[in-house]
Structure 1
Amino acid sequence: MDLVRDLAVGWSYAGAGLIAWWRRPTNRTGRLMLAEGLTWFLGNLQGTAVPLLFALGAWGEALNLAVLAHLLLAFPDGRLATAWDRRVVAGGYGLVAIGGLVRVTVYDPAADGAATYLSCRDCGPNALLLHSGQQLFEAIDLVYRWSGALLTVVCLVALVRRWRVSVPARRRILLPAGVAIAVAVAFVGWEVLYVLAPDALGAANAVLIWPSDASQIAVPIAFLATLLRMRLRRAAVGNLVIEVGADPTPRHMQDVLVRVLGDPSLRLGLPSPTGELGAYVDPDGKPLRLPAPGSGLSATPVEEQVVLVHDAALDEDQELMSAVSGSVRLCLRNTRLRSEAVTRSQEAKAFHARLLRAVDEERQRLERDLHDGAQTRLVFALMKLRRLDAGLSSHVPRPSPDLRHTVAEADRALRQALDELRDLARGIHPAVLTREGLAPAITALAEQAEIPVLVMVEPGRFAPLTESTAYFAVCEALSNAAKYSGAEVVSVSGWRDGDRLVIEITDDGVGGADEENGTGLRGLADRVAATGGTLRVTSPPGGGTRARVELPCE
């Protein structure tokens, strides 16, 4: 059973170390864990009858604890960051190298077999034994154990201090070290109890070995869990583009990165508005400085003049940061493309609005030209023709019937041409719309409609383009109602709703109007949209038709 227990603990470290070394060959953490697993078995050499092997086992019995302290203080970067950490690790190795050697030179297993955790009286002899004195050995052993306990406490203090000053992202990575702290605390308590009262544990000594070793197995398991969590974090980074896609703003992107990476110190650095090379601002527009060496923060370039400032612990997983950088680049490009698309859409709407204004102004010019030009001349010609007809009646005793018939036909032709010209001018742009506004123009339109039209339009003037768009929308709706709906009555309502002009045209016809397939409605929808307005048509079969037009009026 002891063999199974030792193999489980030792190979858990060695296996985790091999995996870590394979995944991160440039990081020394994997090699330290492998060394911890191998040195775990060094003390078991005391169970042999070979004197030299027994001496090596007794000498290096605590070497795995020194390696464990080195591992914890170097985790996760694989480097000892401070001079204090380096002193602690050097003290641990020195204690084993010197103190362990002094201890083994006075250790006689035949005199005190309980000095090793193997409790093996038949083991040995000790090839390095120089003096067999029980009292001397106990004194040296006591100093050796208390020195180890003191170094353990110092190591714990360093770990706790590093934990307290770390941000949440680094704390999650330091989880295996936190587990090891609990193991070390248990070891210190055990050592103190053993030194003060060696016989106090009695039979419980053997029982406590199992939970002690099980707790040590938790350290490499926690390390592997950290690796797995980093892989899951990479998977979460894969959803970054999807999550940011709904709101691809730099601020939202930074918030998502903070949550995914668990690093509240993370900031997204964007190009400074000044254009200065190497100057950055955060998504809120505040200046962002690159971190100084030793500040605990690091900077990862994303693309030219874009950088991520984050906890330096995240540099440990280069694949993760590479995935994050790629996702941020994609999101930024998506943001730029969306911005360009919005800009082009706004430019297109502005162009269409300018085009409609130009068309509307041209309509008004044509209407004025027809009214002031051809229509006026036709009126003058009609007046002259009527004077001619009156002259014939007054001055010619017996005018020719053919001549009178010709004059009458010319009169009718001129009046018909004048009516058609007025209808044409009204279709191009009604003069009443320009002179009096939308409500009188719609009222005049309703009076000429083929079916009864109820008009309820609030008085007031609007922008010329708004009035003309609303007017021709009513024209199209009345035309469709007369041609296709079979309606008996149509109502037209109009009112101002905040900064919008709302026009509703409702009939009691057969319904079934299709905005997509009807060329008139589709053209009207395009015209309304070009002004920044909306057209909604509701036309269930048998339920009549309602067209609602909303136009900006500010």
Structure 2
Amino acid sequence: MVLDLVMGLAYAAAGLVAMWRRPANGTGRLMLAEGLTWFLGNLQGFDQPLVLGVGAWWEALNLAVLAHLLLAFPEGRVTGRRGRRTVAAGYTLVAVGGLARALCYDPAADRASSYLVCPGCRGNALLVVDDPDLFAGVDLVYRWAGALLTLRIVVLLVGRWRAGSPAYRRLLLPVGVPVALTVAFVGWEIVYLALPGLLGGTELLPLALSDLSQVAVPLAFLAGLLRTRLRQAGAGNLVIAAGRDPTPDRLQTVLRDVLGDPTLRLGIRRAGAPDRYADPEGRPVPAAGRGRIGAGAAVTPIGSGARPLAVLLHDRALGEEPALLASVSASVALCLRNVQLTQEAAQTADRARGLQIRLLSAEEEERRRLERNLHDGAQSRLVFALMGLRRIGTRWGGGDPTLRAAVDETEQTLHTALSELRDLAHGLHPAVLSRAGLSAALTALAEQSGIPVVIMADVGRLPPLAETTAYYVVCETLTNAAKHARARAVTVGVRTEGVRLVVEVTDDGVGGADPDSSGLRGLADRVAAVGGLLRVDSPAGGGTRIRAELPCE
């Protein structure tokens, strides 16, 4: 009695849970109906003739509901003409065959025909023909028809399994266990009907197997619901499984694993064609509500709005797990949006870097132009003016001390102006850098330094922006070494590594240079503006080493 009560309540509870979680799916209502009809056969234990007769009539109604449930799972409705006819045959067998059986059933004479024994019952109110032989024949036909109908259901379920896609087979797994037990039960039932004496005292074994096969359904269904919830929770790991910068092919592979659908295709919105989507192989994927899709397939949009970010073309069976699809779609939308934002940020950074390089190139070109103009214009005129003044002083200033003094003073002023102009031109852009390249410019810079400088540079001509940036890195570093580090010697190394120009300046000063100081920060910004990298290593008391890596393509 406890086992019987537990099995009926298990169906009813599972049905209520399914109706709560999947209100649009008819599976929950069928499971609840199975739980309620499970107890109809127990009415045969009541000492009321009418109640006993109703119980005898509808004793097998729960089996018909179970057949309906198995053929309707997981969609909640029976699809196909064969399935609908089989369900109708099951209800007809219970309604007609059960009534015929109840009309000639005498519980006092045929106690072995029911799993309930009621010695004190007053009889069956539906009893019309009290003929034990007739009842035995009707009962035999009734049981054989039920066994054949069960075999028919098994054949239909096996056919659905073989014809189903991998995703659909995964949904049918909750039915697989009870079907296997039902096959065992049918075998015992046939043996019992054919050779009842062969089994001896094991007549109730087929009934026990039947109960086990039926109770496995609600347990398996609840396990399926739990698995769906766990998979839904695990869908959040899709972002981690896809990686930080997933390609469409990687994302499609992860989706196939998560959803268990090897036929799934991820359509990404094409650039310049917001209404068209293509999978990683370039094949077009129809959008939701547009285009033709294959039989058994469905399309789920990813992202909100009239133009989603992407679409999923998947097995229609996945539509039975809407919560899982929603979770996966949200995770995919997050991945795609992250990739999109990353690409946009990279493009923005590239544009900004390109703008910086163009501005620096324009600045350096303007510096060269000013240096040339000063050298070819103002400096040349000052030199010519100085030469003319010397000629005037030689010709007319020899006998006049006042004129001689004025000429000498003017000549000195011109020398000072010419020297300042040359320093100004050199500060704008060293002429030797444009004329002879980086190695010669660094050698000239070392000769002007107030501390010993060793130059190790054997590089050819490089792009002007790379040469200018490297020159100013060395110039600023030498200035810092002389003014702040109190260095006694400096070593400068310049070499190329692939498409990078590496400049290293090392001194033996006091160290402790602050990378965030205005000078080094400005130097780092200048290097970063051309796409390079500046590193400062300056332990206290251990000297300073500055390394700059510059693109020189």
TM surpasses 0.5:
yes
Q: What secondary structure does 1:16 align onto? A: helix
**Aligned twin of 1:510:** 510
1:251 to partner: Cα distance: 3.9
Q: How far off is 1:16 after superposition? A: 0.7
Aligned partner of 2:447 in structure 1 is: 447
Taking the TM superposition and a 5 Å limit, the aligned residue runs for 1:100-115 are 100-115=98-113
SS at match of 1:174: helix
1:242: Cα distance to partner?
A: 6.1
Counterpart of 1:534?
Answer: 533
Identify the residue that residue 156 of structure 1 maps to in structure 2.
154
C-alpha distance in 1 between matches for 2:331 and 2:110: 65
Q: Does 1:433 align with 2:433?
A: yes
Residue deviations 1:238-271 (CA, integer Å, cap 9, x gap):
4545665722554444344333333333322233
Match of 1:90 among 88, 103, 122: 88
**350-359 vs 59-68, which deviates more?**
59-68
Secondary structure at the aligned position of 1:387 is classed as helix
Instruction: Tell me the residue number matched to 1:126.
Output: 124
Which residue, out of 313, 320, 342, partners 1:316?
Answer: 320
Instruction: Give the drift of 1:429.
Output: 0.8
Q: 1:48 aligns with which of 38, 46, 52?
A: 46
Query: What residue in structure 1 maps to residue 387 of structure 2?
Result: 383
Aligned to 1:491, the other structure's residue is in SS state: strand
Deviations along 1:365-386, whole A, 9 cap, x unmatched? 0110111112112222332343
| Distance verdict in 2 for CA 1:276–1:360, change over 3 Å | closer
Q: Is 1:501 aligned with 2:501?
A: yes
Q: Is the 8 A contact 2:181 2:209 kept in 1?
A: no
Counterparts of 1:444-483 in structure 2, within 5 Å, are 444-483=444-483
Gaps of 5+ in 2: none
Q: State the distance in 1 between where 2:126 and 2:294 align.
A: 46
* Contact residue 371 and residue 429 of structure 2 kept, 8 A: yes
Q: How far 1:8 sits from its partner (Å)?
A: 0.1
Deviates more, 1:254-263 or 1:506-515: 254-263
**% identical equivalent positions:** 58
* One-letter identity of the residue aligned with 1:355: L
- Which deviates the most, 373-382 or 434-443? 373-382
**Taking structure 1 as reference, are residues 143 and 211 closer, same or farther at Cα in structure 2, changes over 3 Å only?**
closer
Normalised TM-score (structure 1): 0.90
Please tell me whether the aligned partners of residues 280 and 305 of structure 1 are also in contact (alpha carbons under 8 angstroms). Answer: no
For residues 27 and 313 of structure 1, the distance between their equivalents in structure 2, rounded to whole angstroms, comes to: 13
CA contact (8 A) 2:269 2:278 kept: yes
Alignment of 1:296-311 (within 5 A): 296-302=296-302, 303=304, 304-306=306-308, 307-311=311-315
Q: Which amino acid letter does the alignment assign opposite residue 32 of structure 1?
A: L
Q: What is the CA RMSD across the aligned residues, in angstroms? A: 2.7
Q: Tell me the residue number matched to 1:19.
A: 17
Of 336, 341, 349 in structure 2, the residue corresponding to residue 337 of structure 1 is 341
| In 2: Cα distance, 1:81 partner to 1:313 partner | 13
Tell me which residue corresponds to 2:172: 174
Contact in 2 for aligned 1:170/1:313 (Cα 8 Å): yes
Instruction: Find the aligned partners of 1:166 and 1:376 in 2 and give their Cα distance.
Output: 92
Counterparts of 2:116 and 2:108, CA distance in 1: 13
Q: Once structures 1 and 2 are overlaid, which stretch shifts more, 240-249 or 315-324?
A: 240-249
- Contact residue 185 and residue 209 of structure 2 kept, 8 A: no
Deviations 1:272-324 (A, max 9, x none): 557384x4312332212468688222112334343222222232233443344
| Alignment map for 1:135-534 (pairs within 5 Å) | 135-204=133-202, 213-214=211-212, 216-240=214-238, 246-247=244-245, 249-272=247-270, 275=273, 277=275, 279-289=276-286, 295-302=295-302, 303=304, 304-306=306-308, 307-391=311-395, 396=398, 398-400=399-401, 403-515=403-515, 517-534=516-533
Contact 1:451 1:490 in 2 (8 A): yes
Q: 1:452 to 1:205 in 2, by over 3 A?
A: farther
| SS of residue matched to 2:263 | coil
Secondary structure, counterpart of 1:532 in structure 2: coil
In 2, distance between residues paired with 1:458 and 1:85? 86
CA distance in 1, matches of 2:71, 2:147: 16
CA 1:272/1:121 → structure 2, altered by over 3 Å: closer, same or farther? farther
The answer to whether the 8 Å contact 1:24/1:30 transfers is yes
Contact 1:14 1:37 (8 Å CA) reproduced = yes
Deviations 1:476-503 (A, max 9, x none): 1111111111222111111221111111
Letter in 1 for 2:518: T
**Deviation digits for residues 26-56 of structure 1 (CA, Å, limit 9, x no counterpart):** 2111110001111111111122222222222
> 1:111 and 1:294 mapped to 2: Cα distance?
61
Mapped contact 2:184–2:209 kept (Cα < 8 A): no
